[in-house]
Amino acid sequence: MAFTDKDLQVMDSIINRYPRKRSAIMPLLHYAQSRDGFITSDGIETIAKKLDLETAEVSAVATFYTQYKRKPVGEYHVGVCTNTLCAVMGGDEIFAGLKDHLGIENDGVTADGKVSLEHIECNAACDFAPVVMANWEFYDNQTVQSAKDLVDSMRAGKPKAPTRGPDVLQNWKETSAVLAGINDGHANEGVQAGAPTLLGLNISKKGARG
Amino acid sequence: MTQLTPVLSAHWDEKDSFTIAGYKRHGGYDAAAKALKMEPDAVIQLVKDSGLRGRGGAGFPTGMKWGFIPQGDNKDHYLVVNADESEPGTCKDMPLLLANPHVLIEGCIIASYAIRAKYAFIYIRGEVTHVVRRVQQAIDDAYAAGHLGKNIFGSGVDLELVLHVGAGAYICGEETALLDSLEGFRGQPRLRPPFPAIAGLYARPTVVNNVESIASVPAIIAHGAEWFSSMGTEKSKGMTLYSLSGHVTNPGQFEAPLGITLRELLEISGGVRAGHQLKFWTPGGSSTPIFTSAHLDTPLDYEGVSAAGSMLGTKALQIFDETTCIVRAVLRWTEFYKHESCGKCTPCREGTWWLVQILRDLESGKGSEADLEKLLDLCDNIMGRSFCALGDGATSPITSSINYFREEYIAHLTHGGCPLDPHAATVFASAKAGV
Amino acid sequence: MSNEVVDMITVVIDGFEVSVPKGTLVIRAAEKLGIQIPRFCDHPLLDPVGACRQCLVDIEINGRAFPKPQASCTIPVEPGMIVKTQLTSAVAKKAQEGVMEMLLINHPLDCPVCDKGGECPLQNQAMSNGQSDSRFEGTKRTFEKPIHISSQVLLDRERCVLCARCTRFSEQIASDPFITLNERGALQQVGIYEKQPFESYFSGNTVQICPVGALTGASYRFRARPFDLVSTPSACEHCASGCSLRTDVRRGKTLRRLAGDDAEVNEEWNCDKGRWAFKYVTAADRLTHPMVRNASGELQEASWPEAIAAAAAGLQKTSAAVLVGGRASVEDAYGYSKFARVTLGTNNIDFRSRISTAEERDFIASTVVRAKTTYRDIDRADSVLLVGFEPEEESPIVFLRIHKQVRKRALKVTAIASKLSIGNEKLSANFVCVAPGSEATALPSVALTAQSVILVGERACESAGLLSAIAALAEKTGAKLAWIPRRAGERGAIAAGAIGNLLPGGRPVADASARVDVAAAWGVTSIPSSLGLSSDEIIAAVNKGTIGALVVGGVDPLDGENHHEMLEALQKAFVVSLEIRPSAVTTLADVVLPVAAVTEKSGSFLDWEGRSRNFEAAVVDSLQRSDVRLLSMIADEMSKPISLSTVKAASKEFASLGNWDGAPSALSLTSVQTVSALQANEALLTSWRRLLDEGSLQQGEENLAGTARKPVVVISPKRAASIGVTDGEAVRVSNSHGAIVLPVLVEAIHDDAVWLPRNSRGSHLLATFGVASGAVVTVVKD
């Protein structure tokens, strides 16, 4: 499906954020992904044209970053942190459990297209280990069972809400638009901080009171 | 006993801490207004006087970095905030931005004013959707409030602030790779010199600072350099965020003066998880050589950690108890470096590929003790030979772990595999044990 | 730039002092001492990148040592610097061995079947700077091998060491970033975008600078081992850029050609045509025996003495003229020039076997013979003006040189043309868009100084009044002027006097003392004093019956606008043809003399600068003779000898004549034509030859042809709207002679113009339209 005039206008507004237009390549790739679900040749060619680049220059960038997908992912893309700390704390078991539960391997997608699975690197939430991300929203302190429940809820069409995130989990394309810098109005939803984030502050306050 | 000193985190417990109203309730943006009335050079001097050092890992004095920007050169200057927090174990900037993005924006305003930048960027990692939302909303609200854009605070100063979202590349935390990425290229590190202060973004003078560094600036402007430098140690001034994770009773964020020890932090927070003993830990992420219980009293400041053979890094204190297999831990980190190597230079690209193969063999009990020497020699051929610090970082867990736990590596060979039960290390194991 | 003061810095490397200019990289300072630091990514003409880490050395400056080894390819020398390479530092040696070992862990062991084997920097440096054994016992990275990244270039990713020389070349030098590094980490690999092959005119350079066998040329793959090749320094015969080349021959057959090093001219690059278009030499239809038309009117093989005698007899009977193409060597052109004057007794000689005008001939005699502009002037120029000239298509090394300065210091380039070209876009040229034929009207708007360079192409003659207006402009502004013909032999032909108004050395025919000069040198009583006819005039004269014979060397009738007249003339006249392959001329000739191709003979060209480009015979046992030897034999037979029995003799005699030091002829202004008003659907034709097209010297090399730019008709958005077409739709361009149908490309072009490639597949303008530029054609949707 070709990019519509409206799509092209959004792309122009993204380009206009920057002093030099080539800088817009990453948000434009996120944007193309929000349209097509992954980086299509249509996306690459449209971005190349917009930025006066050769297509090879755009695909060189697209293939460098792991968030740009070369093939369709699920409506909900689930990442299990298996970097050392999360892996040790249970991430490996969660990942194995999900593979088994969903019947797919790393980078696989369920047949219904609802869930895809990827083992991911450290996602800056180590004090909430083991961590699962879905469409790059935080699902903190997971267990094998909670993770299975999560993907089940996705396949049932009613995904559980993130621990620290919007009230409703947005789908993959909607998420990609947020990463392209398009404000979806959900910023004020969810907690301001999880309990571990506040631990030091609370101890300090208790100490001051005591 | 060192006391915690919540400054950045002081109001995170308020439900609306991330909104502009919540931020202003406690004097938010007053520091920016105050700074804009000062001479830019005076702002730089104040930050220099405070002793603030970079919180991203390297610990370079922030004010000095700002001072390197040539003035009166008729060139555009840029401020770029490094919010690409991706170092394994590091988890301070994301909760900070989730809870209070405005403090970063206020810091950006002050820093940009000081270095005469009219354009600033926040380069945030892409795998944190809700943090992206919060920062984007905060920027939108700051524009609406007249704190960004044209003639901010009615001062005649202009500042555009753009949130740039990454797409999954640890290497973009390296400042020159970040700049290439922000310019729309593959995020591979650049040759230095020229340094960013001379030729950074778009080959213009550029300051690249970590989130926490910039977020610390408003408080310094508000309370003064002396207030800030009264905290911490002689060469490591101020408060900072320590992130405790892993096998502890209570993981979380602890804002304390630089120089606090792990022993103190464990005491404050509730210690290693019950029934277990500390085995090893990272002082500042996976790229910092590991410590053991012998280092519990090492002052966690730049000098103290360095003197003990590691680096303060991002103060990412990942705690592992005796249930953790050192080989498995190190292999996993090494796989991470292999995955994140940008591919530009030979030692990092090929070396991490090779290291992973040897470590996999060792973990599964294959190989021989001679492989440990090979590992160490390969690390010697990577460390200081690669283009940037990523390659160096990849060697840290290996060399430091063989230094402290050579016996355990050998045990894998004699045992024909890992002698430890990985399940025992999980949080579920301790939960089941009813602890 | 020897007149500039250069700061010298003295450093100590491995205990030896060396002084080098400030800014010199350590790795090159070491080279000056003969110390070879191993390297892969380093290339002196590419920006330093420091990626491979092979060149690590220990460095201290004023007693302060770097804590770790440094990449010597990225660090400029500094006063007080002490460098220890692998020769004197155990740390550097171990670092280098460590890097080498890591480069080899994923490198396949296919050296025995690799084209690079025997001349491979990885192989060589692994021997000189690596360890004898590898400690790697793991699994090697594998890729599908090899993949075509164009019809000419293949990529074997397993062999690649990721030095990025090829990708940097493509971006920095050629400005064709069609190949890039893709993926990352251990999976990082060179690649193209799936739908955009590596179709750069300069792609072959990447094969040459690849330090391993990752990039190979389809035409050379598996043909030879380097040590079986005999290499000969040579010069490129394709265009006037003047590339120095190296020709590699195995058992009498040219197998490949490489760019030679010449800092003044092509640096270390050449174009793909120069590299790969040489199969015409070994074409199956090469002429090998002389032929003479027999009594029954058929061409029949003959012995050399028979053929020479037949040629002499035919030429003696009538007045004869000489048509020599623009591809002759200086020595051959000199032979033709002397043959015309001494043996045939005429000034009726013209090398311009293409569209040409009297204005151009005057411009050549007045201006080109004096032009001293060089590549270095481009390096120093404050701006460059291009008129009637598309450097990327028509003189690619000139393009690279301009691009280098555009990239380095944003050199200002202005192009006066009817269509914005791909090349000029890459030069960020200020495009002054004019209707075909109106170029001269744009000249006054261009600001020029004495530091500016005007580069005018041979197509400028197609716009009446343009050449004289340019000459006047150069005179007025003091800007340096160069005329850049397409063909390699044209500048030499001018110097040799292979044109009706000039004798050798730029001597005007019209000048009596010049004639006396030459007559004395040649030992003849006089040189004809009347100005010679031009190519077109010679052909007309044959058809009128005033000229009865033609000596034709290397001419294609289809290169001119009057090919019907030319074919008629060839039929009418007694024709002696000197050729390498059958052509429209040999078919109609009375005597055909096979001659040597450039690889089979020695000689020289003058490039557009007027710089001599010598070449030796690469194929030594060739039986073929240079044109000048045959002409000398005919002259002997006619008892009017030119005494040039060898190329060497021709070269020596030509050199001894020297250049004319008298006043050059003056150039009178030709008035600019007014362009006629166009009807609806009418457009003015504009065109040029693409670098890769259906030129006869490119025949037989399909891999190269596959990388040619696809033929299109280019029209403006306004015209596209008026005839109702969009990109890719078929458009019909026609005049009373014929029509061409091609896909349309809507681009930046003058609204009154239509552009087609002059001689590409499906687009042979001179054959179809009888014209190539400036004429009115009809453009409609097909």
Q: Give the CATH number of the domain where residue A142 resides.
A: 3.40.30.10
* Burial per residue of B36-46, b for 16 or more beta-carbon CB atoms within 10 angstroms, e otherwise: bebebeebbbb
Angle made by CA atoms C140, C142, C143, in degrees to the nearest 5: 165
- Check CB contact under 8 Å for B137 and A60: no
A112 in the same domain as A39: no
- Residue B43 backbone dihedrals phi, psi, to 5 degrees: -65, -45
Q: What is the mean pLDDT of residues A99-117?
A: 98
- Check CB contact under 8 Å for B347 and C102: yes
ipTM for the complex shown: 0.98
Is A184 buried (19+), middle (13-18) or exposed (0-12) by CB count in 10 A? middle
Whether the pLDDT of residue C676 is over 80: the answer is: no
- State pLDDT tens for residues A26-41: 999 999 999 999 999 9
- State pLDDT tens for residues B5-58: 999 999 999 999 999 999 999 999 999 999 999 999 999 999 999 999 999 988
Q: Give the CATH number of the domain where residue A56 resides.
A: 1.10.10.1590
- State pLDDT tens for residues B66-101: 999 999 999 999 999 999 999 999 999 999 999 999
- Check CB contact under 8 Å for B133 and A137: no
- Residue C247 backbone dihedrals phi, psi, to 5 degrees: -105, 125
> Is residue A194 assigned to a domain?
no
- State pLDDT tens for residues C275-317: 999 999 989 999 999 999 999 999 999 999 999 999 999 999 9
Pairing of strands A132-134, A115-120: unpaired
How far is it, in rounded angstroms, from Cα A33 to Cα B258? 43
- Could you tell me which residues come within 8 angstroms of residue A209 by beta carbon, excluding any fewer than 6 positions away? none
CB-closest option in C176, C183, C195 to A55:
C195
Chains interfacing with B (3 or more CB pairs < 8 Å): A, C
Pick among C180, C183, C199, C203 to test the A interface (most A CBs inside 10 A) = C180
- Check CB contact under 8 Å for C178 and A44: no
Whether the pLDDT of residue C4 is over 70: the answer is: no
Angle made by CA atoms C546, C547, C548, in degrees to the nearest 5: 115
Residue of A nearest to C192 (CA): A56
Judge whether B54 and B208 are in contact, CB under 8 Å: no
Which H or E run contains B83?
Answer: strand B78-83
How far is it, in rounded angstroms, from Cα A180 to Cα C660? 70
A82 in the same domain as A56: no
Residue of C nearest to B387 (CA): C51
CA C489 centroid distance within chain: 11
In this predicted structure, which of A1-10, B114-123, C47-56, C603-612 has the lowest mean pLDDT?
Answer: A1-10
- Check CB contact under 8 Å for C98 and B353: no
- Residue A100 backbone dihedrals phi, psi, to 5 degrees: -65, -45
Tokens of C224: 């030879």
What is the predicted pLDDT for the residue at B52?
A: 98
* pTM listed for this prediction: 0.96
Note whether B347 contacts C: Cβ–Cβ < 8 A.
Answer: yes
- Check CB contact under 8 Å for B251 and A187: no
A154 in the same domain as A89: yes
How far is it, in rounded angstroms, from Cα C531 to Cα C564? 25
Chain B hits for A60, Cβ within 8 Å: 186
More confident residue, A1 or C758: C758
Question: Residues of chain B with pLDDT > 90: what percent?
Answer: 98
> Is residue A163 assigned to a domain?
yes
Whether the pLDDT of residue B435 is over 50: the answer is: no
Whether the pLDDT of residue C385 is over 70: the answer is: yes
- Check CB contact under 8 Å for C95 and B385: yes
A109 in the same domain as A58: no
Q: How many angstroms separate the CA of residue C192 from the nearest CA in chain B?
A: 15
Which residues does C contribute to its contact with B (CB < 8 Å)? 48-54, 56, 67-69, 74, 94-95, 98-99, 101-103, 105-106, 135-136, 138-139, 141, 161-162, 181, 183-188
Q: What is the mean pLDDT of residues C47-58?
A: 98
- State pLDDT tens for residues B223-253: 999 999 999 999 999 999 999 999 999 999 9
How far is it, in rounded angstroms, from Cα C747 to Cα C660? 47
Overall size of chain A counted in residues: 210
Q: How many angstroms separate the CA of residue A101 from the nearest CA in chain C?
A: 30
Per-residue confidence band for B430, with pLDDT thresholds at 50, 70 and 90:
low
> Is residue A201 assigned to a domain?
no
> Is residue A109 assigned to a domain?
yes
Q: How many angstroms separate the CA of residue C192 from the nearest CA in chain A?
A: 6
Per-residue confidence band for C663, with pLDDT thresholds at 50, 70 and 90:
confident
- Check CB contact under 8 Å for C194 and A63: no
Nearest CA among A64, B188, B191, A23 for reference residue C47:
B191
Q: What is the mean pLDDT of residues C740-762?
A: 97
Spell out the domains of chain B, with CATH numbers in brackets.
Answer: 18-228 (3.40.50.11540), 237-319 (3.10.20.600), 324-420 (1.20.1440.230)
Chains interfacing with A (3 or more CB pairs < 8 Å): B, C
Nearest CA among C145, C143, C146, C151 for reference residue C197:
C151
A85 in the same domain as A46: no
> Is residue A182 assigned to a domain?
no
- How many residue pairs from chains A and C have C-beta atoms closer than 8 A? 39
Report chain B's mean pLDDT, rounded to a whole number.
97
What is the predicted pLDDT for the residue at C624?
A: 84
Note whether B344 contacts C: Cβ–Cβ < 8 A.
Answer: yes
Q: How many angstroms separate the CA of residue A187 from the nearest CA in chain C?
A: 33
Q: How many angstroms separate the CA of residue C748 from the nearest CA in chain B?
A: 27
A80 in the same domain as A119: yes
Using the Cα atoms of residue C118, residue C122, residue C125 and residue C131 in order, give the sign of their dihedral.
negative
Surface of A (131-150) touching B: CB under 8 A: 133, 135-138, 141, 143-144
CB-hemisphere CA count at 13 Å for B241?
A: 36
What is the predicted pLDDT for the residue at B431?
A: 54
Residue of A nearest to B248 (CA): A127
What is the predicted pLDDT for the residue at C72?
A: 98
Nearest CA among A87, A159, A77, A191 for reference residue A130:
A87
Q: How many angstroms separate the CA of residue C191 from the nearest CA in chain A?
A: 8
> Is residue A94 assigned to a domain?
yes
A115 in the same domain as A89: yes
What is the predicted pLDDT for the residue at A188?
A: 97
Judge whether B290 and B280 are in contact, CB under 8 Å: yes
Judge whether C141 and C189 are in contact, CB under 8 Å: no
Per-residue confidence band for B199, with pLDDT thresholds at 50, 70 and 90:
very high
Chain A hits for C182, Cβ within 8 Å: 59-60, 63-64
What is the predicted pLDDT for the residue at C1?
A: 44
Q: What is the mean pLDDT of residues C397-424?
A: 98
Judge whether C744 and C715 are in contact, CB under 8 Å: yes
CB-hemisphere CA count at 13 Å for C250?
A: 12
Per-residue confidence band for C622, with pLDDT thresholds at 50, 70 and 90:
confident
Surface of B (347-386) touching A: CB under 8 A: none
CB-closest option in B6, B126, B332 to A179:
B126
Whether the pLDDT of residue A18 is over 50: the answer is: yes
Q: Look up tokens 């002081």; give the residue.
A: B10
Judge whether C696 and C706 are in contact, CB under 8 Å: no
Q: What residue numbers bound the domain in which A121 lies?
A: 76-171
Q: How many angstroms separate the CA of residue B362 from the nearest CA in chain A?
A: 17
Q: How many angstroms separate the CA of residue C442 from the nearest CA in chain A?
A: 28
Overall size of chain C counted in residues: 782
Strand partners, C385: C414, C454
Is B279 buried (19+), middle (13-18) or exposed (0-12) by CB count in 10 A? buried
Measure Cα distances from C82 to A142, C38, C58, C765 in Å.
58, 18, 8, 64
Q: What is the mean pLDDT of residues A168-177?
A: 98
Q: For residue B404, count other CB atoms closer than 10 A to its CB.
A: 16
Residue of C nearest to B168 (CA): C184
Pick among C166, C193, C194 to test the A interface (most A CBs inside 10 A) = C193
- Check CB contact under 8 Å for C178 and A54: yes
Note whether B5 contacts A: Cβ–Cβ < 8 A.
Answer: yes
How far is it, in rounded angstroms, from Cα C500 to Cα C202? 37
Nearest CA among B228, B231, B186, B180 for reference residue B208:
B180
Spell out the domains of chain C, with CATH numbers in brackets.
Answer: 6-100 (3.10.20.740), 135-279 (3.30.70.20), 289-353+488-655 (3.40.50.740), 358-484 (3.40.228.10), 680-779 (2.40.40.20)
A80 in the same domain as A26: no
- Could you tell me which residues come within 8 angstroms of residue B388 by beta carbon, excluding any fewer than 6 positions away? B171, B174, B176, B177, B189, B345, B348
* Burial per residue of B339-367, b for 16 or more beta-carbon CB atoms within 10 angstroms, e otherwise: bbbbbbbbbbbbbbbbbbbbbbbbbebeb
Q: How many angstroms separate the CA of residue C166 from the nearest CA in chain B?
A: 14
Q: For residue C383, count other CB atoms closer than 10 A to its CB.
A: 18
- Residue C301 backbone dihedrals phi, psi, to 5 degrees: -55, 145
Domain count, chain A: 2
A155 in the same domain as A106: yes
- How many residue pairs from chains A and B have C-beta atoms closer than 8 A? 275
- Check CB contact under 8 Å for A56 and C177: yes
How far is it, in rounded angstroms, from Cα B382 to Cα B393? 10
A113 in the same domain as A32: no
Nearest CA among B138, B114, B129 for reference residue B29:
B138
- Check CB contact under 8 Å for C49 and B191: yes
Q: How many angstroms separate the CA of residue C179 from the nearest CA in chain A?
A: 6
What is the predicted pLDDT for the residue at B434?
A: 40
CB-closest option in C178, C183, C184 to A56:
C178
A56 in the same domain as A85: no
Note whether B380 contacts C: Cβ–Cβ < 8 A.
Answer: yes
Chain C hits for A64, Cβ within 8 Å: 182-184
- Check CB contact under 8 Å for C188 and B343: yes
- Check CB contact under 8 Å for B167 and A29: yes
What is the predicted pLDDT for the residue at C3?
A: 57
A146 in the same domain as A60: no
Pairing of strands A76-81, B157-165: unpaired
> Is residue A203 assigned to a domain?
no
> Is residue A42 assigned to a domain?
yes
Measure Cα distances from C253 to A15, B291, C284, C306 in Å.
55, 68, 13, 29
Residue type at C59 in one-letter notation: I
Q: Look up tokens 């927090």; give the residue.
A: B85
Chain C hits for A56, Cβ within 8 Å: 177-180, 191-193, 196
Q: For residue C260, count other CB atoms closer than 10 A to its CB.
A: 21
- State pLDDT tens for residues C220-279: 999 999 999 999 999 999 999 999 999 999 998 999 999 999 999 999 999 999 999 999
Note whether B378 contacts C: Cβ–Cβ < 8 A.
Answer: yes
Q: What is the mean pLDDT of residues C534-562?
A: 95
